[in-house]
Structure formats: C-alpha cells, structure tokens
C-alpha cells in the first residue's frame, strides 16, 4: 500500500449502520479520488454493500470484526470492554499511523472516552473539546466545547479558543477566524469570572488569535464571530436547546401549512422556496462534530445522519487529517506557555 | 381611595414609552374593571395619552416626575441616582403598600438592581431570580434564572425551583407544576455537581415540589416539564441563543418565501396559516419576565414590546400581586429549612 493516505471508518456505528455509512463513503469517494479507506466492521454485512459502491470499493479495505459498540451503551463499560470493536479499531488505526483520521456515527460518550483513552491529549492540553458547526445568518460558525467536559476554567477556555481557531482555519478555509468568548450581561456586569480571566489571558499573552472579546447568546445566530468559546455545560445546553427549538418550529410550520386546503396549495407553490430555506438551516451541512485536542483526528457524525451527512463528516476528517491543524495548535500553546512563564518570573 | 387595588406602572420605561405603555394599559383595563393604576412619569406627556385611553383613564392616577432612567443607562450609576425616577417611584409604591405589583419596560439591569435595593429579598432567600415564559410544543414553560445572578449553588437552585413552582401555579393556573433541573449528559455522566446536589436536596427534604428530575436543553421546547431550573449564566445564554435563532429563522423564512413570484403567491395563500404559526411562537404572549424572591412583585416587560405585550405584562403583575404566591414560597422555604436543620442534628 505504501504512500497511500487513508481515512479510518467505523462501519457499524450509527442508527442506520452499516448501510448509511457505506452510502456516505461512496458519495465522498466520488469527490476525492486520492484517498483510501479502512472500513471496520462485519465483513459479511459490509462486503455486499461495498459491491453497490463501485467508486469507493477499489480504494476500501475491510477490517473485519464482529464486535460493535451498541448505540445505547453505557460509556464507562463500553470503553473498558471496547478493544476489538469496530469503533476502537477505527480509532486505533489513527494511533498506528495507518490512517490520518477516523470517523464514527456511534455513541458519542463512548467515542469521546475511547478516543481520549487511545489517542491521549496533545502535549500541554489538559482536556479535549467537542466542536461543531452552527448555522448563522452569515454562513456558519464553530462552537465549542459542546460537552466533552462539564466545566472549564480560564486556561481551558483559552485552550478551547486556540483549538477552535485552528479547526475553523482548516475546515472553513478562513486564515484568520474571529474568536469570541460567550458571556452574559452588559459592559458593566461583565459576567463570569473564568470568562473574564480567559479574556485577560488571551489579551496579555503572546498567543496568536483574532480575539473579538465577549459575545452573548444571540451573537451565535448573528454570526458575530467565527468561533464561539464556552464551557461544556453551557455549550451542551445551548446546542440541545436550539435543536429542540428547531424541531419544534419545523413541526409547527408544517402543521400550520397543512391546516387548510388553501394553505396546502399555497405551501405547494412555495415548496421550492421552503426547501431552499430548509437547506440553509440544514443541520446535516454541519455534520461532523470533532473531538479536538487529541493526538489524532476523530470526527463524530450524528447517529441519525443520512449519506449526505456522513459524507460531510468524512470530508471534515480528511481536511483536518491532511492539514497543519495540529502544528497550529502546538505553536499557539507554546506562545501561551511562554507568556505564563514570563509572568511567573 | 380606600379599598382599591392598584398596579404601579413605570410610564416612561421602554423603547417606545410612554405611548406603548398607555396603549397597553388601556388594553388591559378593558379586561379587568376591578383594578386601579398608578402611572409614574411626566404629566405633560402622559395626560394627553390618557385622554385617548377612555377605559383606563378614570381608574388611573398620574404620579408626576420628570426624572427617567435611560434605556442605555449603566446599572450601578442609575441605581445610585435612581431615587425619584419613574422606575423608582413605580417600585416604591409596592413597598409602601399602595400597589400590589409594579411593571416597567425599562432597562433590565437597572430594574433588577433597583427592585432588589428597594424591596429586598424575602426572608430566607439569598438571591432573586428572573423568570420568563418559554413557548413549547405543549404550550408554555417557565425558565429561571435568566440572568439575575451569574451563578447558583445547589441551595440556590432549590430556591429557584420553589419560586418557579409558585410562579407557575399562579400565572398558568396549574396546581401542581412539574419541575426539572437543567443538566447535561446521560444517566451515567450525571453532569454538574451543584445540579446533582440540588436534586438530592429536593428529594431528601420535605419541600413540596412535583420534581421530575434532570432535563436537557431539548426538553425545554418539548415541554417535558412546566418549570426549568438553571443558573443565571446558563439560562441567559440559552435565552439569548434561542432569541437569536428565532429571529434568524424568521428572517430566512420570509426571504425564502419572497424569493420568486411563485413562492410569493404561495406564501400569500398560506398567509393565514403562517400567521397562526407565528402567533404560536409569538414571544409577546410570554411578555413579562418577573423578578422572583422579593418583598413585592416587579414585572419586567420587554423593552421593545407593543401594547399587546405590555398588557400581558400588567396581567402577570395583577395575577401574582393578588395571589398566595408569596405565602407559597415562604411555606416551602420553611419546609426546606426544617429539613436541613434536622440533617444537621
């Protein structure tokens, strides 16, 4: 195999695996002819699916295992007994250097824990952070941490800012993303102490960040900054709150539009416009939450995604895996550490 | 005047005061013929407006002052120099017993600080909390704290639960509202320590609450519980994030529907249905955030509200002011204190 570059894929993770996984792989393979794939899972199920995927098949090697992580697995148990599962093997191929990144649509908690166990954090970073894309008026922003940890002190928030900036540069081809710290209140009531201290650290250290300052919740949808930094508790609550609201609005809109014959006809006529609207706020476009800060790239696809979403997750993995992402983080971490050493002296 | 029951209104607070205030007052007065009103502000501006409000006028007494709190005032300064402003006088009428509740659409930070200064917290409660209604699939839920404070320990979360339950009983005529603590993660990763400790306190104390347990962000829109309890930082971020998203979705939907002649006609035909949809998610229906936990009721109307919204805010004030709300909180606080005393023994 030699010089080939490969992406490692958990064939068995996700609500509709392995079908959706292989369909997504085929879709992605059509976009990128230079990449190879390691597909981990049950050969008996994967082989016939790959036969229906003529573009991906010649560049895909099945790594057989019958062990899988259940979607409803309890993280601690599943991680302890995880060796040899398709998820573990997918991550392990990144550690061994066979693949530049791994993708799984499996159980989030297990994937995070297993990735941390197998790959460990980058030198100097204390905890990984989960980042994902968020649709905004201007396009898309990255928000982190979305729940890899339940809290974050000031230094961790700065680490998140460094990781989020490196991520946004690569995935959205923006050389100088604007960073904001999520906070509450007016100028005078400056909000949480750890957030204020993080702002001071960013401003006074030599870390290279295009730092905008504080942002509030409504700045996320407004696209005020490219990267929104917060602790995992707040980030996870905000993410799930917005998911719940989006589903509610979508359901209520459809209900309203089918409430009378007249509105049904009207909705039918406006259908192309409504579809365009849905595409803009389509969460699948942003599919692929990434666990940042490890010695290797692991992308978490949404468990209920479709082939479009899974292909997008592979694309994120491919871009990050082939980029200067890790070096970028390490350089900024060195600048941060250098500044704090100077302060101590 | 004797036995009359009055609501105290800041005539000069809000983006379009005093016009919107008086129009909202007139609208409310048509619904409730038993209440009187103290209207604080500039007589020269208020008198001609009241002449256009024939239902409210005979029951409204103008309390003249030319001092007002600017909408963009800095809280600490405005509070210190606040005596004699229309906002201060509106709150002070509650303290003196002339009114059962106060309403203002003025600067949120100033109103919260001034209310706390004038009215003080109920005995045993440490901090007030800001509560507001949140549209859900099932109707409406109450969420608190939305930013009266930036953090909350376990005991404060329990106090918020007690206050939120008392509020929901009165404003939504539900004798036994279901309470949830906002948290993240699965059963196993049980989230934040203070939240877990609050759950334990509620379960093990003798406090009377219909306690559901933990909820996650998406449970808010799903209407899983009637009252969602969280700290002010998380609550404020969630509220503003959702406000930003709602505006974005609304703008994008309108843009999509006017993107072609065909979709414009379709949207026109579906207009009644679309209006019904907007009414359901209309934030004005929930207008009237309340600062809970003080020796008196203060309702904060949205600064940019219209007469419908301002009338709703007065209605919330009237219901809370005339209810057992305060007794309900005090009784539950006693049960909580009794339990913790027993534990200490």
Partners of A35 in the β-ladder: A5
Residues A238, A189: one domain? yes
- Three-state DSSP class for B31? helix
Of B10, B196, B262, B193, the residue nearest B118 (C-alpha)? B10
Residues B110, B174: one domain? no
Q: What percentage of chain A reaches a pLDDT higher than 70?
A: 92
**B-contacting residues in A 176-195 (Cβ below 8 Å):** 182, 184-189, 191-192
Residues in chain A within 8 Å Cβ distance of B237? 182, 184, 216-217, 230, 234, 237-238
Q: What is chain B's percent helix, strand, coil content, to nearest 5?
A: 50, 15, 35
Q: How many structural domains is chain A composed of?
A: 2
If one compares A341 and B322, the residue with the highest pLDDT of the two is B322
**A-contacting residues in B 269-298 (Cβ below 8 Å):** 269-274, 276-277, 280-281
pLDDT band at residue B116 under the 50/70/90 scheme:
very high
Residue in A189, A222, A234 nearest the CB of B237: A234
So what's the ipTM on this one? 0.85
> Is A213 an 8 Å CB contact of chain B?
no
Is position B32 within any domain?
yes
Strand B227-229 vs strand B140-144: parallel, antiparallel, or unpaired? Answer: parallel
> Is B253 an 8 Å CB contact of chain A?
yes
Residues in chain B within 8 Å Cβ distance of A245? 220-221, 242, 245-246
Residues A96, A170: one domain? no
Residues 6+ positions from A197 with CB-CB distance below 8 Å:
A154
Residues B177, B224: one domain? yes
> Is A137 an 8 Å CB contact of chain B?
yes
Contact of A89 with A63, CB cutoff 8 Å: yes
Residues A158, A69: one domain? no
Question: Distance from B216 to chain A by nearest Cα, in Å?
Answer: 7
**A-contacting residues in B 63-92 (Cβ below 8 Å):** 74-76
Residues B188, B312: one domain? no
When scoring B232, B269, B279 by the number of chain A Cβ atoms within 10 A, the one with the most, hence best to mutate, is B269
**pLDDT computed for residue B285 by the predictor:** 57
> Is B138 an 8 Å CB contact of chain A?
no
Contact of B38 with B7, CB cutoff 8 Å: yes
Give the separation between CA B248 and CA A136, rounded to whole angstroms: 8
Q: How far is CA A240 from CA A216, A236, B219, in A?
A: 17, 6, 8
Residues B136, B106: one domain? no
**pLDDT computed for residue B1 by the predictor:** 45
Is position B342 within any domain?
no
Is position B338 within any domain?
no
Residues A60, A160: one domain? no
Is position B140 within any domain?
yes
**A-contacting residues in B 143-162 (Cβ below 8 Å):** 147, 150-151
H-helix or E-strand spanning residue A89: helix A86-95
Boundaries of domain holding A137: 132-282
Domain stop point among A282, A303, A333: A282
Cβ neighbours, 10 Å, residue A299: 27
Is position A344 within any domain?
no
CATH of the domain at B301: 3.40.718.10
Residues B164, B75: one domain? no
The string of pLDDT tens digits covering residues A281-318 is 655 556 778 999 999 999 999 888 899 999 999 999 99
- Three-state DSSP class for A40? strand
Residues in chain A within 8 Å Cβ distance of B240? 184, 216-218
Is position A330 within any domain?
no
Contact of A263 with B269, CB cutoff 8 Å: yes
Is position B211 within any domain?
yes
**pLDDT computed for residue A344 by the predictor:** 47
Please answer yes or no on whether B241 and A217 come within 8 Å at the CB atom. yes
The string of pLDDT tens digits covering residues B217-230 is 999 999 999 999 99
Give the separation between CA B218 and CA B43, rounded to whole angstroms: 47
**Predicted TM-score of the model (pTM):** 0.89
Is position A334 within any domain?
no
Question: Distance from B184 to chain A by nearest Cα, in Å?
Answer: 7
Cis status, amide bond into B329, omega within 30 of 0: no
Residue in B218, B240, B263 nearest the CB of A272: B263
Residues B213, B245: one domain? yes
Per-position DSSP letters for B249-296, written without gaps between them: HHHHHHHHHTSSHHHHHHHHHTHHHHHHHHHHT-GGGG--EEEESBSS
Q: What percentage of chain A reaches a pLDDT higher than 90?
A: 65
Give the separation between CA B142 and CA B165, rounded to whole angstroms: 9
Residues B273, B164: one domain? yes
Residue in A237, A253, A259 nearest the CB of B234: A237
Contact of A233 with B192, CB cutoff 8 Å: yes
Partners of A131 in the β-ladder: A144, A290
Cβ neighbours, 10 Å, residue B212: 17
User: In whole angstroms, what separates CA B117 from the centre of its chain?
Assistant: 18
Residue A182: left if φ>0, alpha if ψ -120 to 50, beta else—which one? beta
Strand A60-64 vs strand A129-135: parallel, antiparallel, or unpaired? Answer: unpaired
The string of pLDDT tens digits covering residues B307-344 is 999 999 999 999 999 998 888 999 999 998 887 765 54
Residues B133, B274: one domain? yes
């Amino acid at each position: 195999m030699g010089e080939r570059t490969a992406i490692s894929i958990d064939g068995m993770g996700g609500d509709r695996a392995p079908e959706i996984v292989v369909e997504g792989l085929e879709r992605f393979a059509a976009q990128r002819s230079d990449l190879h794939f390691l597909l981990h899972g049950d050969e008996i199920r994967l082989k016939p699916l790959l036969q229906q995927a003529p573009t991906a098949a010649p560049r895909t090697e099945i790594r057989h295992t019958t062990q899988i992580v259940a979607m409803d697995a309890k993280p601690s148990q599943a991680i302890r007994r995880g060796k040899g599962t398709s998820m573990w093997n997918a991550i392990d191929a990144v550690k061994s250097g066979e693949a530049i990144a791994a993708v799984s649509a499996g159980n989030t908690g297990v994937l995070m824990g297993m990735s941390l166990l197998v790959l460990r954090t980058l030198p100097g970073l204390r905890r990984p952070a989960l980042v994902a894309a968020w649709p905004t008026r201007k396009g898309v922003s990255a928000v982190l941490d979305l729940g890899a940890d339940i809290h974050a002190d000031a230094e961790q928030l700065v680490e998140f800012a460094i990781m989020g900036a490196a991520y946004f540069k690569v995935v959205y081809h923006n050389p100088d993303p604007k960073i904001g710290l999520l906070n509450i209140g007016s100028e005078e009531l400056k909000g949480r102490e750890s957030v204020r201290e993080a702002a001071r650290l960013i401003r006074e250290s030599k870390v290279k960040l295009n730092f905008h300052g504080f942002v509030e919740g409504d700045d996320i949808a407004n696209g005020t900054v490219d990267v929104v930094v917060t602790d995992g508790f707040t980030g996870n609550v905000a993410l799930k709150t917005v998911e719940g609201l989006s589903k509610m609005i979508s359901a209520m809109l459809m209900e309203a539009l089918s409430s009378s014959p007249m509105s049904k006809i009207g909705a039918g006529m406006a259908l192309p416009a409504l579809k365009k609207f849905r595409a803009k706020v389509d969460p699948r476009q942003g599919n692929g939450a990434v666990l940042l800060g490890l010695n290797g790239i692991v992308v978490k696809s949404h468990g209920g995604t479709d082939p479009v979403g899974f292909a997008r997750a592979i694309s994120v993995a491919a871009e990050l895996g082939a980029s200067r992402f890790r070096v970028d983080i390490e350089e900024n971490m060195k600048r941060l550490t250098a500044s704090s050493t100077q302060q101590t002296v």
